[in-house]
Structure 1
Amino acid sequence: MVGSPRAGPVVLLLHIGFVLIGIVNTLLGPILPLLSARWRLDDAGAGALFFAQSAGAMVGSALSGILIKRFGFLPPLVAGFGLMAVSTACLGFEPWVLGVLSISGTGLSLGLTIPTINLLISELNIGRRAAALNLLNLAWGVGAVSGPVLVPTLSRSVGFTIALLCVAAPLIVIGVLVRRSSVVLPVAVKAKGATSSGAIRLWITPYALLTAALVFVNIGTESATGGWIASYVQRLSPSSQLSWSVAPSLFWAGLLAGRAAAPFVLRRVRETRMVLLGMFVAVSGLVVLLLGTTIAPVLIGVGLTGLGLAPVFPTTIALFTERFGHDASRLTGTLFILAGLGAAVFPWLVGLASSHYGALRAGLVVPLVGGLVMIVLHAAIMRTLPSRK
């Protein structure tokens, strides 16, 4: 448990694993121009790749809840890290069918690992869930920032396939170490006599429904922005390869900085206020990004958007698990499925809008609308929490 000296090494291992998950989770965006050229995809076809990955993530999220309940936390993580390694390695091969299967496989592995680790860290840190989950997602941000630079740099030195193998190898190591761990961990589902009708009653509360909608829109907005920004900057300045390869890193660096600052901000500001402030910053960043006609303002807007979105997801999950206590283990799987659905739908909509209007700028209005909807949803959530004054 949290006070157990044996829990510390596993927690450290999971944070290292989350760095690697951050690399894999954000890999598709930076390599999208390469994949689009290799498979001759238009924006609608490229958007379908995000849908394939996120569809896998939804399936994995659904399975994670079942597997946690049946086997505990560790077996889903072992399976997830193993599948992630294989899928990442296979993405380097040429055939389109194998590539799509690999992208779907990475999504499935992300669905198995991300909800499991988030729930486990939350259960280990009762009383400081928001700070602990922001710290965990800070580790994810380290991978998200380094991946868009690391993989292209390695690709230029040793080739694309070898670069992906370099990402896959440590995933195997993490999976093996998790498999060999014998640390006593919290039981995932403590209310064993709970029924599905009880879960339905919890879900039909205004707070749960609004939170579900917020998670869907938040992850969709985050995925659409981070996934398409490299392609957007590439078209804005085709001759500047450095700019379009760095742009995704700036977005994830904003998330990294925001999640690093969140535990300190929470000492002075309530969780709900911090999230609302972040949403306004994100919307401002998206406006700057869309209005910018040169690289500099676009990159500034990218960074601001990442900074603003940083505290939204981990803090929302922390508040959700705090609100529902042990019942949260029965509900968070659905939240992560909705997160996967948002990550599938929003980037796909960006691609459709871009192909329809003939401009990726038009497609990126989708995450701007998402940011505005998030503000409305969170304001409604705050009204369901009268005790947080």
Structure 2
Amino acid sequence: MAAWFLVIIYLAFISLGIPDSLLGAAWPVMHPEIRASFESAGLLSMIVSAGTILSSLFSGTLIEKFGTGKVTLISCCLTAGALLGFSFAPSLLWLTILAIPLGLGGGAVDAGLNNYVASHYKAHHMSWLHCFWGIGATMGPIIMSYFIANHNSWREGYSQVAMLQFGLVIILFVTLPLWKRVAALQQSAAVPVQTGSSNNEFIQNNETRKIHPLHISGVKASLLAFLFYCGVESTIGLWGASYLVGARNVSAETAASWISLYYGGITVGRLITGFVTLKINNRVLILLGQLTALAGGLILLLPFPDAFTLIGFILIGLGLAPIYPGLLHETPARFGKENSAKLMGYQMAVAYTGSTLLPPIFGLIASQTGIGMFPTAALAFIFFMLFSSEKVNRILKQRAVAS
């Protein structure tokens, strides 16, 4: 039952990834039709991000009160309704209003499913979960481009994705009783926490029981790791092509294809990581991923030929692949299972904050200093992520010795 139930969770994460890439694919034909300015897409993106951050912060409390199944069901209803509304929206004002439930629904689903998998499944399932998000994010532009090319309608693209989301809502409604049942089966049949980590076993001490989750030693450093992880992932995705064109004199078409290989490295890397976690624990994989990304950043920084620049982007993508799912899956083991629901929401909120704020901050810096600063910024973000993550490991070792 637990294995089949994973199919539903994977489907939910595909549906989470599809809307993330729809707006960018549709916007070139959307904004003239609704008479919105080109830069209005940034406003919509920020509203979605704000809703996602807000729902992530409160997701832990909601899950404790209503359970992961109900929160996921209601959140998918919100996203499906918002996407259907997008297909009928006559103006930017309506899109702005609909962006609120789209963000609120997405954040709660993300935090809820990550916590559920971290608490009840092994590490390789977390890697594959985020691989399926990549599949969804890849499907979004494909679906939208099909309806724009063959039906000359971005609205039909949104309505079709909304129908897929409503299909998931029906599946979630029918399987709602299974969430608690599967969780109980997993807890009765498994070790206390299935993290895939031999060095970060679940430590339930007085500190993790009695104080607010944010005050547990190591939590703040962990949050910084999430901030810089999503910051570097988004910064490379947003500004990588501009760097290739502006500083490396690569054609726009080639630059776009190289950035797609960067995302491909993340998606394929997570698929492979799922198998590797069967032999190597999360802590080692996270460190190896960070060192690989650091090596890729150094290649970008050094004055190598253009071919090496492509290798640098791919290495960063492959290096980033195991970090995010690995950090998420370690949450119950590092900070206590009783704290994981709230901490997962906090981590999601900080992660989305990093992806929302760090890329535009770099954009402001680049506007004053030049896009050539891109490798330096990427390398700095990767280093701060590595430093924060290793600080958590040091704190955990000290806690283990003290206990």
Does the aligned pair in 1 maintain the 2:331–2:343 contact within 8 Å? no
Match of 2:145 among 131, 139, 152: 152
Task: After superposing the two structures, state which structure 1 stretch, 283-292 or 66-75, moved more.
Answer: 283-292
Report the Cα offset of residue 176 of structure 1.
1.8
Give me the whole-angstrom Cα distance separating, in 2, the residues matched to 1:263 and 1:381. 23
Amino acid at match of 1:207: G
Match of 2:390 among 371, 379, 384: 379
Partner of 1:137: 130
Amino acid at match of 1:77: T
Task: After superposing the two structures, state which structure 1 stretch, 359-368 or 322-331, moved more.
Answer: 359-368
Amino acid at match of 2:13: F
Residue 215 of structure 2 is aligned to residue 204 of structure 1: yes
**Cα gap change, 1:287 to 1:132, in 2 (>3 Å):** same
Does the aligned pair in 1 maintain the 2:17–2:136 contact within 8 Å? yes
Does the aligned pair in 1 maintain the 2:244–2:255 contact within 8 Å? yes
SS at match of 2:140: helix
Report the Cα offset of residue 155 of structure 1.
2.6
**Structure 1 segment 299-310 matched on structure 2, within 5 A:** 299-310=310-321
Residue 341 of structure 2 is aligned to residue 329 of structure 1: yes
Amino acid at match of 2:106: L
Amino acid at match of 1:168: A
**Cα gap change, 1:325 to 1:65, in 2 (>3 Å):** closer
Match of 2:355 among 343, 352, 359: 343
**Cα gap change, 1:201 to 1:65, in 2 (>3 Å):** closer
Give me the whole-angstrom Cα distance separating, in 1, the residues matched to 2:45 and 2:176. 36
* C-alpha RMSD over aligned residues: 3.7
Deviations 1:353-372 (A, max 9, x none): 34444x55546754432111
SS at match of 2:178: coil
Deviations 1:272-311 (A, max 9, x none): 2211221122233345557799986655443332211111
Partner of 2:165: 171
Give me the whole-angstrom Cα distance separating, in 2, the residues matched to 1:318 and 1:307. 18
SS at match of 1:185: helix
**Cα gap change, 1:28 to 1:320, in 2 (>3 Å):** same
Match of 1:74 among 69, 75, 79: 69
Task: After superposing the two structures, state which structure 1 stretch, 171-180 or 224-233, moved more.
Answer: 224-233
Partner of 1:269: 280
Partner of 2:15: 20
TM-score (norm 2): 0.78
Match of 2:109 among 99, 106, 113: 113
Does the aligned pair in 2 maintain the 1:214–1:377 contact within 8 Å? yes
Give me the whole-angstrom Cα distance separating, in 2, the residues matched to 1:225 and 1:258. 17
Partner of 2:5: 10
Amino acid at match of 1:378: S
Does the aligned pair in 1 maintain the 2:289–2:320 contact within 8 Å? yes
**Cα gap change, 1:220 to 1:73, in 2 (>3 Å):** same
Amino acid at match of 2:128: L
> Identical aligned pairs, as a percentage?
24
**Structure 1 segment 85-124 matched on structure 2, within 5 A:** 85-91=80-86, 93=89, 95-124=91-120
Give me the whole-angstrom Cα distance separating, in 2, the residues matched to 1:290 and 1:94. 46
**Structure 1 segment 33-48 matched on structure 2, within 5 A:** 39-41=36-38
Structure 1 or 2, whichever has the larger Rg, is: 2
Does the aligned pair in 2 maintain the 1:224–1:343 contact within 8 Å? yes
Q: Structure 1: give runs of 5+ residues left out of the alignment.
A: 191-196
Deviations 1:148-169 (A, max 9, x none): 4443344333332222222222
Deviations 1:147-206 (A, max 9, x none): 344433443333322222222221111012101224332499x9xxxxxx9564443233
Report the Cα offset of residue 104 of structure 1.
4.1
Give the total of aligned pairs: 371
Report the Cα offset of residue 31 of structure 1.
5.5
Does the aligned pair in 2 maintain the 1:145–1:256 contact within 8 Å? no
Deviations 1:71-96 (A, max 9, x none): 11122212221222233344465633
**Cα gap change, 1:204 to 1:32, in 2 (>3 Å):** farther
Give me the whole-angstrom Cα distance separating, in 1, the residues matched to 2:67 and 2:295. 42
Amino acid at match of 2:95: G
Task: After superposing the two structures, state which structure 1 stretch, 366-375 or 12-21, moved more.
Answer: 366-375
Deviations 1:87-124 (A, max 9, x none): 33444656333334444443222101011111112232
